Amino acid sequence: MGATTHTVLYQFKSYLPAAEVEDACARFLRLKETCVSHNGGNYIRSMRGGRDNSPEGLQHGMTHGFVAEFASVEDRNYYVTTDPAHRAFVKSIEDLVEKSIVVSFRSGDY
């Protein structure tokens, strides 16, 4: 199995102070370093994200997007279902997010 791209879109609650949203985004990006596999090594190949700036008007309320790349579907599955750092992050933003969309894919896998 090849590299897997994991995309996450958030609509942060509109009343949140900008500093609180920025902190949540920074903590999301730090998952690249804080998430470790069962053997103790970092396994997220890359992590990037930011505030939406698309002129298309097709955001459906989503305000921020993030993209993580994993070497395999297995690594992505560990991240989503097991990794304690990721699970703690998800729990920590429950009250900050109005809605989210998550899509993962392998390039060329149609």
pLDDT in tens, 16-33: 999 999 999 999 999 999
Write down the domain spans for the chain.
Answer: 10-52+62-95
Q: Selecting from 1.10.3720.10, 2.40.50.220, 3.50.50.60, 3.30.70.100, what CATH number does the domain 10-52+62-95 have?
A: 3.30.70.100
pLDDT of residue 85: 98
Contact 35, 79 (CB under 8 A): yes
Rounded Cα distance between 60 and 68, Å, is 22
Contact 6, 76 (CB under 8 A): yes
pLDDT of residue 1: 58
Q: Copy the structure tokens of residue 28.
A: 């999301």
Of the candidates 16, 10, 9, 3, the one whose C-alpha atom is nearest the C-alpha of residue 69 is 3
pLDDT of residue 79: 98
Residues of the chain with pLDDT under 50: none
pLDDT of residue 5: 98
pLDDT of residue 55: 96
Contact 35, 83 (CB under 8 A): yes
